[in-house]
Amino acid sequence: MKTALLLAWRSLAYYKVRTLLLVGCVALVVLLPIAVQLLVGAQSRALQARAQATPLVAGAKGSRYDLVLNGLYFRGRTPALTSMAELDAVRATGFAEAIPILARARARGRPLVGTTPDYYRFRGLRAARGTLPLILGDAALGADVARELNAKVGDTIGTDQPNLYDLGLNYTMNLSIVGVFAPTGTADDNAVFVDLKTAWIVDGVGHGHDPKATDDTVLKREPDRIVFNEKVRKHERITPKNLRTFHFHAPPAELPLTSILVLPHEDKSATKLKGRYRVSKTGQLLVPTGVVAEILGFVFQVKRFFDAHVALVGAATALFLVLIALLTVRVRRREIEALRRLGASRFAIARIFGTELALAVSAGAILGALGGVVVFLLWMS
């Protein structure tokens, strides 16, 4: 056996190009399914863990998937907007705590999430540096955002240019970074958090401007107020000097939210809330675990198709290996004849050739497995 192994190794080392091609083909066939399996498994566990940690999500009637993805992961399309009136209605029942979320603007490409300190307590977020965003114009960065942007406490972060097709998002601002959250391994690491009032201002519901009226900035004058036109210069950063000039153009009950995290006090309270929302014409109350399970169901359907594709590729690779073995026998006839003259039996020759193939396939499989793990680690980092 040692002789066969030595001869096989020498042969593989001599035919370098053929060996590298063979090892590479096997490595690719092994790498893809392992990497996909690890990535899909890790992402599905992360999605399920966050859904399991969130009892209920409330919002306006519309897409269930948009509501859950936006409320829990700050991803996907913006759901239909609900309002502070819906939040007050949930709290008024006495059945649950309610945490408001407004997440439809972005800052430097990251989700801009407006919420209250209750959210940080619920998610277990703590400031590794600085403080929480408690006043108008303050922002705290998730750990990944701070690392990727190389941002620190005392810097500023600008909100993105508005969506040209959504005239509601018509206000860009420079926010003061007052804190950086400790990493959690969740969607919170890739978000920028602000106070709800700051999110409403960025959302275009309110603004701040110079209170002095000039002829070209006044739309109309009334006995108790002055209405400014669009020429009035709006403040792009909130400072102690201009803080009092910021105001909203909607009643408190009509201020928008994208979702509401609902935390029932007990199972009976959750059942009562679900019953109320079943007859609601404007709102919906969802169990995130069920919605996430549906989403993952679609993902795994695609994965099954991919697995079938990989199986076909694996079968093609196996046939390719058989073809290589047959061609090798024909190309290396003189070598085989020399081995016979030296006294090697047919079985010994077959064992040498089989050992060569086994070594190449094993090397490719090991390389592919290691590559899959490396791809997974790089992706997760």
Low-confidence ranges of the chain (pLDDT < 70): 1-5, 7-8, 11, 162-171, 206-248, 250, 300, 309, 325, 328-329, 331-333, 335-346, 348-350, 379-381
Which tokens hold the place of 309? 């594709």
The whole-number pLDDT of residue 229 equals 41
Cα-Cα-Cα-Cα torsion 255, 256, 259, 261, nearest 10 degrees, comes to -10
3-state secondary structure (DSSP) of residue 130: strand
Instruction: Give the whole-angstrom CA distance, residue 174 versus residue 159.
Output: 6
Q: Give the per-residue pLDDT at 141.
A: 96
Nearest to 125 by CA among 53, 68, 77: 53
Say what the pLDDT of residue 377 is: 76
Q: What is the pLDDT of residue 361?
A: 80
27, 365 Cβ separation under 8 angstroms: yes
- Residue 112 has a pLDDT of 94
What is the spatial distance between Cα 161 and Cα 268, in angstroms, rounded to a whole number? 45
> Rg of the Cα trace of the chain?
31
Which pTM does this prediction carry? 0.73
Strands 110-115 and 192-195: parallel
Listed in sequence order, the residues at least 6 apart from 339 whose beta carbon sits closer than 8 Å to its beta carbon are 348, 349, 352
The angle at the Cα of 52, spanning 39 to 105, to the nearest 5 degrees, equals 75
DSSP for residue 213: -
Burial of 308 (0-12, 13-18, 19+ CB in 10 A): exposed
Residue type, position 169, single letter: L
78 sits in the region (left: phi over 0; alpha: psi -120 to 50; else beta) called beta
pLDDT confidence of residue 91: 93
- Quote the CA–CA distance of 35 and 5 in Å, as a whole number: 31
Residue 134 neighbours by CB under 8 Å, 6+ apart: 117, 195
Paired tokens of 90? 């949930």
Rounded to 5 degrees, φ, ψ at 115 are -160, -165
Q: In whole angstroms, what is the distance from residue 155 CA to residue 327 CA?
A: 66
Q: How far apart are the first and last CA of the chain?
A: 44
Can you give the pLDDT at residue 242?
A: 58
- Distance, C-alpha 371 to centroid of its chain: 23
Q: Residue 129's beta-bridge partner residues? A: 180
